[in-house]
Amino acid sequence: MSDRLKVHDIAHARAGDKGDIASVSVWAYDPKDYPLLKSQLTAERLKATFPKLLRGSVTRYELDHLHGLNFVLRDALEGGVNTSLNLDSHGKSFSYLILGLEIDGPELPSP
């Protein structure tokens, strides 16, 4: 049996943006939780979860030795921070969305 938890329960994120590309890195607090992130936080899942926000490609880079994932989100900022009418289109907004996703926690022993 496993519990559902939010990504922010086991990880933190950093983000940046340049033009119409956002980059979000998700880092496990504890290396033992990294396999959960790696198996459940995929580029395909992000694209399927946020189809109206992520109009371009989503590429995931795995940083196994650092227990982190880096996502590059193209065509995600409505043309970029300086050209968009959206007041909060910075890459950091995506880090909050990703950290709020639910994932299956580790298998727990039956009582």
CATH classification at residue 50: 3.30.70
Residue 19 pLDDT greater than 80, yes or no: no
Give the range of the structural domain holding residue 17, as residue numbers without chain letter: 2-102
Phi-psi region of 22 (alpha: psi -120 to 50; beta: other; left: phi over 0): beta
Other beta carbons less than 10 A from residue 30's beta carbon: 9
User: Does 45 map to a domain?
Assistant: yes
Does 109 fall in a domain?
A: no
Higher pLDDT, 97 or 63: 63
Q: What is the pLDDT of residue 59?
A: 96
Is 83 within a domain? yes
Domain-embedded: residue 108: no
**Residue 55: pLDDT band by 50, 70, 90 thresholds?**
confident
Is 8 within a domain? yes
